[in-house]
Structure 1
């Protein structure tokens, strides 16, 4: 190491800790040889650092400073070691050892002597005023909360927010950081776990944060003295405070919960503990492992006051997992979910790839239930898989919500919201501005582009409009035959599928499609002209005269927003909307020129006799948390984005126009209430089976489970 000193910056979180850090820096500068020479116990070059001190407001901000290179070292509680290692790639390098080389402490529940005589079991702690050192701390939060969960005392009300579960069990309490973004990602935590925190902290905005007087283990004990019924602490906290007694305070009763490792620390060693006053300064001499006598009766500044020396952690073991060992189980168990997994059904290889990336992203945030992916042949195959409990959820068009509800007792629980105030969109007819001959009232013999057979905007609403207004001969309710005989050529993905076409195959309804081999005219993203973007592409490069899509489609794919060759030179003024009165308007005027309004794509799951409220709540919870982490459309290229699809693909799993997922009210969680009477009438107009009872049961013949299966439809 060069002769020039390098600065080693320590991160502090209070004025007292900052002062101690500065005193440490002076001690290192002034008395290096006496302070360190006899205490360096491993073979290293001469210590040539000077100590710097960086003030932060919390340990989380300190971890961010380390991650950003603003600071180099900080001492952390084991629960904080988990957060720093798991989310910021920080590593533990030294461990504190207490007298006798003890490397652990006991997690204890403390009450005031003579109090809580009515508590005989853990269940009796319900509605008691609890004091915690802070959400996420190991001994004061993760360990007791996980034990209460394991013994089914504390009900899990939110798989991804243990603060909410604790709020439901305890009475008004103090758990600092309960409202912090890390533990309150949706911003809807109750204030209940902050209500008995100190009224004011150091400066403004410290209430229920790391600066609150009731923060930390010593603060939690003070909370017990002043307001609480029970405090969850380390055994060393009670011993330390007893050394600097508060007048008039009774000794607490202590019961231990478990054993956990001591706090993470750094490279510096201590002086002998002084027992005298320095005659020159009138203060106790500086001591690395003593705080209260010198710093306003504050304990555990920089390090635990019970620490006697450090243990160097070998490089191969410098990870949060190796450091925490068995204690990691408690930290992870507070994230336990009664529903272990959620299987999302997708319909193409491209969607499967996105689902796997989504699964990885959700695991990175430890979100529960654990997501897994199931690939179906198409949306109907996904409905069957969900009904058979081979999958749990799928994201489908409003037209498929109808099929799923009527034929398979599936229900919508979440719905996509786009750029409107409600989770709906307008179905529109788009044509070229330079094609004045195409008119919604006179489409006989024209070339048409549809997002998919029985899709709401791509088929149900436009065909119902044309039939109900006597523009097309209806042939009863056989809209496929009606379209085949009215339009010259079309692309209607899925029109030949036996799930939708129960009669003759009309080849002209696939003539404009573009998919290769088995993907040709298929009702999934493997067909290039499938979906709203696909139907618009059919209009642009497939020879179509009109495309039936949702109102956001043109604006999503023009003016440079899509980089593919087919869209590169398109601008939105090249296209117009066809209105029901025969007029044309710019594509931005969809509110006044459309074929109707329909609900957005929905997440469906099991209903009817297979309905499980616990499962539904867990699935909803996972999607809501997922979008809070990954719902942004913009960011770095490496971040997963739920509502974006990598080109050349579009609308994989979710529509790319989605801004958020909205929970469907419980009273609307059946397909009829969700879709509304107008859409149901339109569906009956275009679908001969829409008015009939549930389709005949499906007979499954399984060959080599988990590898392949063949489905046979029972004869009528």
Structure 2
């Protein structure tokens, strides 16, 4: 949007009247209006009072006064992205029209006190149509005795009191009170005048025509102009019968419209103070939340997430830190150089044991338990293969150390006596069991110091240095990658998650490799040697594991953890979808950051921790004979 003309509130020449002031108004005979000269601070004096606001988001009635009170420390911020709750903790009852809309109340949990003083009924209460909405409505809220203070424009107050009322006074931010005419010495800031805007997509000629039309109308129907008796552009008196609202189309105190000149963008029109107040209104105890990623794909997706969060002005600001590996990211978080990352359940256990990291949020796939099942998927056309005759077959596994791609499968190999780990390492056992595998990360010295046998990576798809890397550079990494390995005939069996097959077939995944894949071409291999359709994973799975989780450092305080969780929760509220079989929370979900299934993040519960504890025995069993 682009401003073309602006309201002017004084008939004099020059820049006089090109702004208005934010003021706090109280009744002179109240305890708030009788403190002239006492030095009583605004914030301290108004604690526990009833407040009338014209509407959330208004400059004079919300942005400027609340920003000042936040800066002065009168209003304490305990939860980022929730300034309404902080304001509610300071005042008693309020009328704050618009505060229940989804933008300002995404979780539907704003306190009821924010609408206690509003006079609307049914669908109008606490909305922009409420009788107490707008600057005139907020003044009525004060005038009728419902509120102790009203936050207004200075000219609205003067207009409604005919510039002569001694009943009201201004309450100054630096202490004391002043008469309503002394607004230049008792205000919360000077605000640029309102503008009429149009789409920046309109061509120059069209915008010029709009501008000329409005300026000519102002010359004919403005205050003191030739045809004002026929129609007064800047008065709402004739329409007060329609709900009593003023400032219809234009502010009633406007004298004329003027050309904005070269200040024809929003950023040129508002001043630095305005931006500063916006920042103050969204202040957060933490400035940044640094997310650690381990590949170029992850970094790109993280940057998209960062821009999406920034567009909603979510705090703390998200930043992306590129680590060399999952283990390196764990180290960065432990050292305080990064704050969060997403890990598979196997890595969550390792991160806790090795670096003391703690999970703070987990994916939930609809079972309300933040868990998933590991399954063995195979082509239906190979019906004789079971979990008991895997010798000389080819295997696709999600990744070294992962719960779905290593811990559970290796435990199953031992349980079904595919090999007995005595004299050889697990890697050699698997190399002897399968003729070829793809286990991303299996030849990393971090996991396999001997880097042998090479057959553990021969089934992987990437070339050169990218081959078998334990990140998205390797096409067959992760549960989706392991299934792709099976689909592209890189293996005979894929160890994946219970939803992986369903989510990558029947047109649910639009990637080229997944097109025209039918779910009924695949079956699950069960622990008893039988095979079942892919949707019978509840009775044909290899084990249950905790879902992917977001982890942070053990040194983080409870306040920090809550701030991180709120950032993620607001993010998924703005960028998620409740429609199944759609890639929800698209900024996050996908193998790059979160598992590519219909999922939401949940704050960790005791149930998750109970499941996480059960992984310890399985993890140790799968790694006892690694070396």
Query: How far apart are the structure 1 equivalents of 2:57 and 2:279?
Result: 11
Is the Cα–Cα contact under 8 Å of residues 345 and 376 in structure 1 kept in the other structure? Answer: yes
Preserved contact between residue 493 and residue 530 of structure 1 (Cα < 8 Å)? yes
Partners of 1:284 and 1:293 within 8 A in 2: no
Question: Aligned partners of 1:272, 1:454: CA distance in 2, in Å?
Answer: 75
Cα separation, partners in 2 of 1:450 and 1:220, compared to 1, 3 Å = same
- Which of 147, 151, 164 is the equivalent residue of 2:72? 151
Q: Choose which of 155, 167, 173 in structure 1 pairs with 2:94.
A: 173
Write out aligned runs for 1:694-713 (5 A). Answer: none
Shift in CA distance, 94/235, structure 1 to aligned 2, threshold 3 Å: closer
Q: Relative CO higher for 1 or 2, CA cutoff 8 Å, sep ≥ 6?
A: 2
Distance 1:294 1:526 in 2: 65
- Quick one: distance in 1 between partners of 2:222 and 2:536? 79
Q: Summarize deviations over 1:255-277 as a string: whole Å, max 9, x none.
A: 32222223224543164758xxx
Q: How far apart, in 2, do the equivalents of 1:401 and 1:476 lie?
A: 29
Local SS of the residue matching 2:161: helix
Q: How does 1:402-421 map to 2 (within 5 A)?
A: 402-421=349-368
Counterpart position of 2:204? none
**Which residue does the alignment assign to 1:662?**
602
Q: Does 1:96 align with 2:8?
A: yes
Residue in structure 1 matching 2:149, options 221, 230, 252: 230
SS at match of 2:189: strand
- Are residues 476 and 391 of structure 1, via their aligned partners in 2, closer, same or farther at CA, if it must alter by over 3 Å? farther
Q: Which moved more, 1:293-302 or 1:348-357?
A: 293-302
C-alpha displacement at 1:190, in angstroms?
Answer: 2.0
Question: Alpha-carbon deviations, 1:169-222, whole Å to 9, x = none?
Answer: 22121110010122122332222211111143xxx5110001101001111111
**Equivalent in the alignment of 2:237:** 292
Equivalence for 2:184: none
2:242 corresponds to 1:321: no
Q: Tell me the equivalent position of 1:587.
A: 534
1:567 aligns with 2:514: yes
Does structure 1 residue 524 correspond to structure 2 residue 471?
yes
Task: Please say if residues 179 and 191 of structure 1, whose CA atoms lie closer than 8 Å, have aligned partners that are also in contact.
Answer: no
How many residue pairs end up in the alignment? 577
Is 1:205 the counterpart of 2:123? The answer is yes
Q: Which residue of 2 aligns with 1:700?
A: none
After superposition, where does 1:251-650 map in structure 2 within 5 Å?
251-255=168-172, 256-265=187-196, 267=215, 268-269=217-218, 271=221, 286-292=231-237, 295-296=240-241, 298-314=245-261, 316-325=262-271, 326-475=273-422, 479-503=426-450, 505-607=452-554, 610-632=555-577, 641-643=586-588
Q: 1:678 to 1:481 in 2, by over 3 A?
A: farther
Unpaired runs of 5+ residues, structure 1, are 1-88, 646-650, 691-716
Describe the SS at the equivalent of 1:529: coil
For the 8 Å contact 1:413–1:603, the answer to whether it is kept is: yes
TM-score, normalising length: structure 1 = 0.75
How far apart, in 2, do the equivalents of 1:541 and 1:302 lie?
63
* Aligned residues of 1:461 and 1:682 also touching (Cα < 8 A): yes
Task: Please list the CA deviations of residues 44-86 of structure 1 after superposition, one character each: whole Å capped at 9, or x if unmatched.
Answer: xxxxxxxxxxxxxxxxxxxxxxxxxxxxxxxxxxxxxxxxxxx
In structure 2, the partner of 1:652 is: 592
Residue-by-residue CA offset, 1:294-331 (whole Å, 9 max, x unaligned): 735754333233222222111x4222221111323213
Contact 1:99 1:306 survives alignment (8 Å): no
Q: Which moved more, 1:188-197 or 1:121-130?
A: 121-130
Contact 1:632–1:643, Cα closer than 8 Å, also in 2? no
Q: 1:642 Cα deviation (Å)? A: 1.8
Residues 364 and 408 (structure 1), Cα distance of their counterparts in 2 relative to 1, 3 Å cut? same
8 Å CA contact 1:475–1:481 kept in 2: the answer is no
Deviation track 1:224-264 (CA, whole Å, cap 9, x = no partner) reads 23311111111122211113999xx9334553222222322
SS where residue 548 of structure 1 aligns? Answer: strand
Partners of 1:565 and 1:210 lie apart in 2 by 49
- Call closer, same or farther: CA 1:319–1:344 in 2, change over 3 Å: same
Q: CA 1:433 to 1:668, structure 2 compared with 1: closer, same or farther past 3 Å?
A: closer
Q: Give the distance between the partners of 2:423 and 2:109, measured in 1 at CA.
A: 52
Task: Work out the CA distance in 1 between the residues paired with 2:401 and 2:189.
Answer: 60
Indicate the SS of the match to 2:476. coil
Q: Provide the C-alpha distance between the structure 2 equivalents of 1:501 and 1:337, rounded to a whole number of angstroms.
A: 44
CA contact (8 A) 2:362 2:548 kept: yes
Residue pair 1:430, 1:576 contacting (<8 A) in 2 also: yes
Deviates more, 1:498-507 or 1:100-109: 498-507
Distance 1:302 1:566, change over 3 A: closer
**Residue 514 to residue 687, structure 1, CA distance change in 2 (3 Å):** same
Task: Please tell me whether the aligned partners of residues 23 and 170 of structure 2 are also in contact (alpha carbons under 8 angstroms).
Answer: no
Distance 1:273 1:634, change over 3 A: same
Deviation at 1:506, TM superposition (A): 2.1
Q: How many angstroms apart in 1 are the aligned matches of 2:305 and 2:446?
A: 29
| Residue equivalent to 1:163 | 84
SS in structure 2 at match of 1:360: helix
Contact between 2:376 and 2:542, CA under 8 Å: does it hold in 1?
A: yes
Q: Aligned pair in 2 of structure 1 residues 313, 435: CA closer, same or farther (>3 Å)? A: same
**1:387/1:92 CA distance change after superposition, 3 Å:** farther
CA-to-aligned-CA distance 1:419-442 (integer Å, 9 cap, x gap): 433321111001111112311123
Query: How far apart, in 2, do the equivalents of 1:309 and 1:442 lie?
Result: 87
CA distance in 2, matches of 1:537, 1:466: 22
> Are the equivalent residues in 2 in contact too, given 1:213–1:219 (CA < 8 A)?
yes
What RMSD in Å do the two structures reach over aligned CA positions?
3.0
Structure 1 window deviating more from structure 2 (300-309 vs 541-550): it is 300-309
Contact 2:3/2:260 (<8 A) preserved? no
Distance 1:307 1:491 in 2: 72
